[in-house]
Amino acid sequence: MKRQLPLLLTFLAGTIPIVAFFVPERHVGLVSTTLDSWLIIVAGFALLLGVVNVIQMNANKIHRRSSGWPYAIVLLLSLAIMGFFGFAGAFDMFGGIATRPDGSSTPFDWLYKFAFLPLQGTMFALLAFFMASASYRAFRARNVEATILLIAALLVMFGRIPFGEMVSKWFPLATEWIMGKPNMAAQRGIMIGAALGAASMALRIILGIERSYLGIGKGE
Amino acid sequence: MNLERVMQVDRRIIYLFVAIGTILPIIFVIGLPVSITPPVQMAFDRIENELQTGDIVLMSFDYGPSSAPENAPMADAMLRHCFSKGIKVVVIALYPLGGLSEAVNELNKVTAEFPELKYGVDYVNLGYKDGAQAAMKKMAENIHEVFPTDVNGTPLDRLPIMKNIRTYRDMKLVVSLATGIIGEWWANLVNAQFGIPVIVGPTAVSAPKYYAYLEAKQMAGLLGGLKGASEYERLVVNRYPKLGEVYATPGLYTATKGMDVQSIVHLIMIAFIVLGNVVYFTTKRKPRKAS
Amino acid sequence: MPRDFPPRSFSARVPSLLFLACVLAALFFLVSTSQAQSQAAVTQAEEVPAQATDLVQPAPPPVTDLRAIDTPSDEGGSITVRWTEPANAEELGLTYQVLRSDKPDGGYAPVGQAGAGEQEFVDMGLTDGQAYYYKVRSVLGAGVAESEATRAAQAKGNWFRSYRLNALVLLVVFSSSVLYYITRARKAKPIYIRKIAGLDAVDEAVGRATEMGKKMFYIPGIMSVDEIQTIASLAILGHVAKLSATYNADLEVPNKDPLTFAAARETVKEAYLEAGRPDLYREEMVNYVTYDQFAYTASVTGKMVRERPATNFLIGSFYAESLLLAETGQSIGAIQISGTAEVAQLPFFVVACDYTLIGEELYAASAYLSREPILLGSIKGQDITKFLLIVALGLGVVLESIGIKFMSAAFRMK
């Protein structure tokens, strides 16, 4: 029973949306959208589980003075401060979580603008640096395939910037051609293969053939 | 010079060059020209030629602060375009981490430039909804059920703009400014199932994937990253010269200015790649000569 | 059950596959024509002559051929009104008002409008089973002309979205092909699966971490368990965790999504139990970091730089953080095995990792690693459908090029 029940639930939760895709009847649709709402609720509770885990782990770290424990203090403090103002804002203390009617920042909004936002921007901007070092290493004309890759990369990079067009109007056109034709063809090939792989995996899961993710043994 | 050492160049030297290439054009604006590519032209033409005054556009903020430097200029340019043409805009946010804040900030900024517009009549912000995919599906049946109130808690029935909008059928276009997968859902879920035209403005990193949807006509236009945004800025300024004054505001961050940085960094990367290859070939030939 | 049916060699099977493809094509053709006929066979009101209601302004021509039907393939509560507009409607700039009543001879009130060029209106929010009557009023300035009323139409919920028949046919073909090969595999027919270098390297990667006495990071992507790539990743995690338990390697699984976190914890715990080393399992092996994409990336890359793991697994659904994680791993000299079906992130992984599972290889991983015959069978079934799709694609290219549009019509999704 301990094994059968999760598999039965998986089967039902997997089949209902497929049936609803083909059957427009109101009640079927209702069951399917209810499942969607349940997912959101379950995810909400799981997030709570995550937060509890973060607090436990980091509290332990500080308690045991294990390596990097000062970072754990920073993390817990940040969690407490942002969490407090978020909660308080939700109950309309400190003027909510967005800006006040006069345009001034509430504490949550202030933290968002002057801590969260720049930190996020910084992480995303790191991509430019990492891309530079990765492409320096990767784009070498080692063999024919690598040379084709290199030429395509240079064309696209050059064609996407104004200098490309200043040199010749063919650079932007070549860029668009590479992106729209060979790039797209390859992407579609991978997408179709991956979609079939995902569908086959989904079928295995719905039918209870693939169970490894449930932690209840593989195969039959 | 030891060529082997150039091959194994410390990545921090590359990072230093990229940093200089990023900082200098921010301080000394170059103002490089912008050329227009077909996917962006398609997006612009769809709004300019196929929509009329009073039509409704749904604009979904599906990005957060991390990709705001790329996505926000797209949102601004498209909002300015819609408002200049008298098109009404319904704003929603489906990205959990900061989508709503981005929507509020950009809408506040752009509507301040159009004092004649009235909230609830010409534009509205319905706020954030969790569970993007489920919300998108449900909006095909009834938007009022997905968003019972706007971002300020006003019931939708009290907002004149929302009186005649119940489903996608009542709108002419969806614009999604996206950082992750939500933009793709608009193309392959909403457009494919419900038929409403979709324009997506993704970050440059994810732009290649969208070409498949564009070519399959599941998208009515594509603004790929900062470059796409700068092209759109150019197109709206050309068509509505009044917006030229807005874009000339000193200190205003625009994609066109951002493109200066991107162009210089691209050039630096091209230079490094070329250098790497030259050195690679020189060192490869040497042992052959020796043998 | 005869065991050698269908014939064994692949070349002998090509004709039967082609035949199946042709049957499919014929089926699609039948579907598309029958749909067209059913649309044409709707109840029609008799044509009505123009009826001028305004004598001052020249009356515009009324619409003809007005009919109201239950909107097909919907959940109910809606009626579709269709009409044929006058030939010069667009030149004149006509507009139409759709009027509705619940009795045939009066009480008509406007429920919607349409412009020249539009010949259909969908009226929603109706009561199923009640009779409704419609008229369409042509409007030109102050001049109006009303059509005659339609016959009674009733809205009702439907049981099948007929326009999705093609998807259903594909679903049936795909599922039966997969299930057929699973059944065959159960009868212990050996199934060939090509080598996947990235998966062969898993053992070596775990072994390396053990020898070096260093950590292994397993990053199951940043999406939730409703993303099938995450489930595929969890299946590989099960295998890695079992190896890690066997060799007593130090495994850490940081998570971004709370549901994935809960599932990963169960997977790892179970794997240690199955390997017979539940004593080695520690709760903090699988931990939760944050729901924010870049904060998660910062945390994981930070740990990578501080703890210098010997091995990184980056398997699942990744977005902009892919290169940040992979390049950091590369810079600390970790052996890296990555896998994703997110095409935009594949180039980054290929550049910065030692092995990359591309698209469907990721989904084949659990079958490949476990060598379970029935899992391998499902992969064979999937490959047969892929072959049929390739045939259909080729056929489609040829047919479209010579102007026969039926393939694109048969595969169109509405």
Q: What is the pLDDT of residues B194-249, one digit of tens each?
A: 889 999 999 988 888 898 899 888 999 999 999 999 999 999 999 999 999 999 88
pLDDT level of residue B143 (50, 70, 90 thresholds): very high
For position C49, what pLDDT does the model report? 43
pLDDT level of residue B19 (50, 70, 90 thresholds): very high
Q: Beta-carbon neighbour count of residue B13 at 10 Å?
A: 13
In the DSSP assignment, the letter for residue C356 is: E
Question: Of B36, B48, B42, B31, which Cα lies nearest the Cα of B239?
Answer: B48
Secondary structure, 3-state, chain A = CCCHHHHHHHHHHHHHHHHHHHCCCHHHHHHHHHHHHHHHHHHHHHHHHHHHHHHHHHHHHHHHCCCCHHHHHHHHHHHHHHHHHHHHHHCCHHHCCCECCCCCECHHHHHHHHHHHHHHHHHHHHHHHHHHHHHHHHCCCCCHHHHHHHHHHHHHHHHCCHHHHHHCCHHHHHHHHHHHCHHHHHHHHHHHHHHHHHHHHHHHHHCCCCCHHHCCCCCC
Instruction: Return all residues near A76 (Cβ < 8 A) that are at least 6 apart.
Output: A55, A58, A59, A62
CA distance B207 to B200: 9
pLDDT level of residue C3 (50, 70, 90 thresholds): very low
Q: Give yes or no for A173 touching B (CB within 8 A).
A: no
Q: Give yes or no for A173 touching C (CB within 8 A).
A: no
Backbone angles phi, psi at B55, to 5 degrees: -65, 160
pLDDT digits (tens, 9 = 90+) for C64-122: 999 999 998 888 888 999 999 888 888 888 889 999 999 998 899 998 888 888 898 88
Q: Which residue of C has its CA nearest to B164?
A: C112
In the DSSP assignment, the letter for residue C335 is: E
Per-position DSSP letters for C58-71, written without gaps between them: PPPPPPEEEEEEEP
Decide if pLDDT at C40 tops 50. Answer: no
Instruction: Return all residues near C208 (Cβ < 8 A) that are at least 6 apart.
Output: C310, C311, C335
For chain A, residues with pLDDT lower than 50 are 218-220
**Does A162 contact B211 at a Cβ distance shorter than 8 Å?**
no
Q: Give yes or no for A146 touching C (CB within 8 A).
A: no
pLDDT digits (tens, 9 = 90+) for B175-191: 999 988 899 999 988 99
pLDDT digits (tens, 9 = 90+) for B72-113: 999 999 999 999 999 999 999 999 888 998 999 899 999 999
Interface test with C, best of B169, B181, B191, B222 (most C CBs within 10 A): B181
Backbone angles phi, psi at C145, to 5 degrees: -145, 130
CA distance A183 to chain C (A): 11
Contact call for residues B66 and B102 (beta carbons, < 8 A): no
For position C74, what pLDDT does the model report? 85
Cis status of the peptide bond prior to C6, with omega within 30 of 0 = yes
Question: Of A192, A191, A186, which Cα lies nearest the Cα of C386?
Answer: A192
CA distance C9 to B141: 51
Contact call for residues C244 and C206 (beta carbons, < 8 A): yes
CA distance B129 to chain C (A): 17
Beta bridge partners of C216: C251, C311
For position C36, what pLDDT does the model report? 47
**Does A33 contact B208 at a Cβ distance shorter than 8 Å?**
no
Chain B residues inside the 8 Å CB shell of A92: none
CA distance B152 to A166: 49
**Does A23 contact C174 at a Cβ distance shorter than 8 Å?**
no
Provide the residue type at C253 as one letter.
V
- Return the structure tokens found at C5: 């049916």
Largest CA distance in chain C: 98
pLDDT level of residue C215 (50, 70, 90 thresholds): very high
Decide if pLDDT at B291 tops 50. Answer: no
CA distance B115 to chain C (A): 31
Contact call for residues A99 and A109 (beta carbons, < 8 A): yes
First to last CA, chain A: 15
Percent of chain A with pLDDT over 70: 96
Q: Is C354 helix (H, G, I), strand (E, B) or coil?
A: coil
Q: Is B137 helix (H, G, I), strand (E, B) or coil?
A: helix
CA distance C238 to C264: 8
Of A98, A117, A135, the CB nearest to B104: A98
Summary mean pLDDT of chain B: 90
For position B282, what pLDDT does the model report? 87
Query: b/e string for C232-255 if b means 16 or more Cβ within 10 A?
Result: bbbbbbbbbbbbbbbeebbbbbbb
**Does B98 contact A33 at a Cβ distance shorter than 8 Å?**
no
pLDDT level of residue C249 (50, 70, 90 thresholds): very high
Q: Give yes or no for C172 touching B (CB within 8 A).
A: no
Angstrom distances, CA of residue A84 to CA of A116, C203, C260: 15, 46, 26
- Return the structure tokens found at A56: 């436990």
Angstrom distances, CA of residue B125 to CA of B154, B180, B201: 10, 21, 19
CA distance B277 to B6: 11
CA distance C84 to C70: 18
The residue with greater pLDDT, C230 or C25, is C230
First to last CA, chain B: 22
Decide if pLDDT at B7 tops 80. Answer: no
For position C198, what pLDDT does the model report? 93
**Does A162 contact B263 at a Cβ distance shorter than 8 Å?**
yes
CB-side neighbour CA atoms (13 Å) of B83: 27
pLDDT digits (tens, 9 = 90+) for C171-201: 999 999 999 998 888 887 778 889 999 999 9
Decide if pLDDT at C371 tops 60. Answer: yes
Q: Is C216 helix (H, G, I), strand (E, B) or coil?
A: strand
Q: Give yes or no for A59 touching C (CB within 8 A).
A: no
Please, what is the Cα angle at B244 between B239 and B249, to 5 degrees?
Answer: 160
In sign, the C-alpha dihedral spanning B213, B218, B221, B222 is negative
pTM of the model: 0.83
CA distance B92 to B251: 28
Chains contacting C (3+ CB pairs below 8 angstroms): A, B
Segment B121-148 mean pLDDT: 90
pLDDT level of residue C38 (50, 70, 90 thresholds): very low
Backbone angles phi, psi at A65, to 5 degrees: 50, 40
Per-position DSSP letters for B185-241, written without gaps between them: HIIIIIIHHH---EEEEE-TTTHHHHHHHHHTTS-SEE--HHHHHHHHHHHHHHH-H
- Return the structure tokens found at A170: 């063919």
Instruction: Return all residues near B58 (Cβ < 8 A) that are at least 6 apart.
Output: B89, B90, B92, B168, B171, B173, B174, B175
For position C24, what pLDDT does the model report? 58
CB-side neighbour CA atoms (13 Å) of B108: 13
